[in-house]
Amino acid sequence: MKKMELRPYQQEAKESVFQEWGKVDRTLLVLPTGCGKTIVFAKVTEDCVRQGKRVLILAHRGELLEQASDKIAKATGLKCATEKAEETCLGSWFRITVGSVQSMQREKRLVQFPGDYFGAIIIDEAHHCISDGYQKVLQHFPGAKVLGVTATPDRGDMRNLGQYFESLAFEYTLPKAIKEGYLSPIKALTIPLKLDLSGVGIQSGDFKVGEVATALDPYLYQIAEEMAVHCQGRKTVVFLPLVKTSQKFRDILLEKGFRAAEVNGDSQDRAEILAAFDHGDYNVLCNSMLLTEGWDCPSVDCIVVLRPTKVRSLYSQMVGRGTRLHPGKDHLLLLDFLWHTERHELCHPANLICDNEEVARKMTENLEEAAGCPVDIEEAEKEAAEDVVAQREESLAKQLAEMRRRKKKLVDPLQFEMSIQAEDLSGYVPAFGWEMSPATDKQKAALEKLGIMPDEIENAGKATKLLERLDKRRQEGLTTPKQIRFLEGRGFQHVGTWQFEHAKNLIDRIAANGWHTPADINPQEYKGA
């Protein structure tokens, strides 16, 4: 059998797993859907077997177990035992077991295994592993090295995978996979159809599916009309909140001339429908979240998300059904809608590619402005990032202009100290704890009101001294900081030593002269007394 060669990033991923296992017991591998995570863990499994370990592949669905077993056989030539329903690996000479978590967690079954039976455990779709069932199994084998494999590292109930896994061995991002030619480019098309979800409640960190279905129902015919414009000639998968909504939408699409089919968990002919869709007998496949994991049809080139979600992992899984490469497919078209949700952040195409929340928001705004035109998400992200930088620069320029304007009105503390010839202030060193603490907001506001720039005041002690001095000068009828700033700005010397009234009279003369210094006054030689 020809040995399966790993792609460069897959080889790096495999090596990183073993490096991490040298340091920790539980590590995580993140690869986008379509980037061969099953191949990677098949090769990890092969190396574990070579080391003499038994390996358990743990998953929550039968399809995933079958896929894993099939891929391991094709990639390594190794056969797997099964731990599911009536089947057991106990007594088998195979070193690899694919096990259903639902079966494994049963006490009767679990106690039959010694705690050191498996040397390594690999969890497929690891974002599920925080659940109690998985944890029960994992705790039964405390000495095993654990690898979690997922395309989607965040979980709907917001419980962080970092609570269980000790490190991230390797992560391959969607933008990188697209750039390196391993996944299809994605074009996002925002449909200018406003769907109101503002009345939909939240449960377990996401929108309540029943309420979403109710809110979506009035728009189904309009959505079908939009699809008739944009999805003709494409192979389309539609994700919907409920089975009954999915069936209703299939019927509407049939009315519109689509060759539409629907599959759900109860479909007796599910395998036949999926095969017929794959062969091109249908051009639209409707489902109620059944196809988010463990189903591949690379020729899909259009995804319609009618199950709005706050959960990035779920959104990524839906879109991931269309990102695989296929001959003749140059991009995936992703239909997005103008969902109105009020306070709740909703996943949009931007969330597939943007790490920065600010950039994601800007990209979503830009896509909404370009509604009706497909836009490449990488280009959209780049444009949004540039827009954010430009906005920040504009905001900074405004802040700096405001600061300069403010500074024009205020006198620098050092200039003030030199002007009033206050060596005790310029040489001040705080002695007590409270004096060393930063100046309070109240002190800063008082100083600014009196005309002193507060930003340069290092400590509360100095601020106190300055405020005391300013009060004393007011009582003695000496110049104010604002008078000092104005007159010294025109070249007059040591205005701080002048009387208030004298400075006032001089400023009045300058004002009466059209804000020009009178010709008979030389500021450099002028004495304020």
Alpha carbons 152 and 516: distance in angstroms, whole number: 70
Confidence of residue 1 (pLDDT cuts 50, 70, 90): very low
- Is the model more confident about 283 or about 428? 283
Q: pLDDT tens digit string along 193-246?
A: 888 888 899 888 889 999 999 999 999 999 999 999 999 999 999 999 999 999
Cβ within 8 Å of residue 442, ≥6 positions away: none
For the residues 28-50, what does the mean pLDDT come to?
A: 93
Q: pLDDT tens digit string along 109-147?
A: 999 999 999 999 999 888 888 889 999 999 999 999 999
Lowest mean pLDDT segment, chosen from 99-108, 324-333, 520-529: 520-529
- Per-residue pLDDT, 340: 82
In the predicted model, what is the mean pLDDT of the chain? 89
Q: What is the pTM of this model?
A: 0.71
- Per-residue pLDDT, 177: 93
Confidence of residue 401 (pLDDT cuts 50, 70, 90): confident
For the residues 343-354, what does the mean pLDDT come to?
A: 85
- Per-residue pLDDT, 158: 40
* Half-sphere exposure of residue 396: CA atoms within 13 angstroms, side-chain side: 6
Assess contact for 153 and 314: CB atoms under 8 A: no
For the residues 279-308, what does the mean pLDDT come to?
A: 90
Cβ within 8 Å of residue 235, ≥6 positions away: 277, 280, 283, 297, 299, 300, 301, 302
- Per-residue pLDDT, 397: 79
> Which segments of 24-172 does DSSP mark as H helices, in order?
37-50, 62-76, 101-104, 107-110, 132-140
Tokens of 486: 């104005």
* Whether pLDDT at 344 is above 80: no
- Per-residue pLDDT, 161: 77
Q: pLDDT tens digit string along 52-104?
A: 999 999 988 888 888 889 989 998 999 999 998 888 999 899 999 999 999 99
* Whether pLDDT at 301 is above 70: yes
The DSSP symbol for 215 reads H
Class of domain 8-172: alpha beta
Lowest mean pLDDT segment, chosen from 82-96, 377-391, 403-417: 403-417
Q: pLDDT tens digit string along 462-477?
A: 899 889 989 999 999 9
Length of the chain measured in residues? 529
- Per-residue pLDDT, 142: 95
Assess contact for 38 and 6: CB atoms under 8 A: no
Confidence of residue 510 (pLDDT cuts 50, 70, 90): very high
- Per-residue pLDDT, 160: 66
Residue 340 Cα distances to 198, 337, 343, 345, 377, angstroms = 6, 9, 9, 10, 22
Confidence of residue 512 (pLDDT cuts 50, 70, 90): very high
Q: At what angle do helices 481-488 and 500-512 cross, to 10 degrees?
A: 50
As a CATH number, domain 183-389 is: 3.40.50.300
Alpha carbons 49 and 8: distance in angstroms, whole number: 23
- Per-residue pLDDT, 493: 87
Tokens of 433: 């704890």
- Per-residue pLDDT, 3: 60
> Averaging pLDDT over each range in 181-185, 289-293, 429-433, which range is the top one?
181-185
Q: pLDDT tens digit string along 249-282?
A: 999 999 999 999 999 988 888 889 999 999 999 9
Q: Where are the domains of the chain?
A: 8-172, 183-389, 410-512
Assess contact for 10 and 172: CB atoms under 8 A: no
- Per-residue pLDDT, 156: 46
Assess contact for 310 and 211: CB atoms under 8 A: no
* Half-sphere exposure of residue 266: CA atoms within 13 angstroms, side-chain side: 5
Q: pLDDT tens digit string along 151-163?
A: 866 644 445 677 8
Identical fold, 8-172 and 183-389: yes
* Whether pLDDT at 421 is above 80: no
Own/partner pairs, 418-422, CB within 8 angstroms, 24+ separation: 418/496, 419/484, 419/488, 419/494, 419/495, 419/496, 419/497, 420/469, 420/473, 420/478, 420/484, 420/496, 420/497, 421/494, 421/496, 421/497, 422/469, 422/496
Among 288, 30, 47, 3, CA closest to 154: 30
Confidence of residue 189 (pLDDT cuts 50, 70, 90): very high
- Is the model more confident about 163 or about 247? 247
Alpha carbons 370 and 374: distance in angstroms, whole number: 8
Alpha carbons 245 and 243: distance in angstroms, whole number: 5
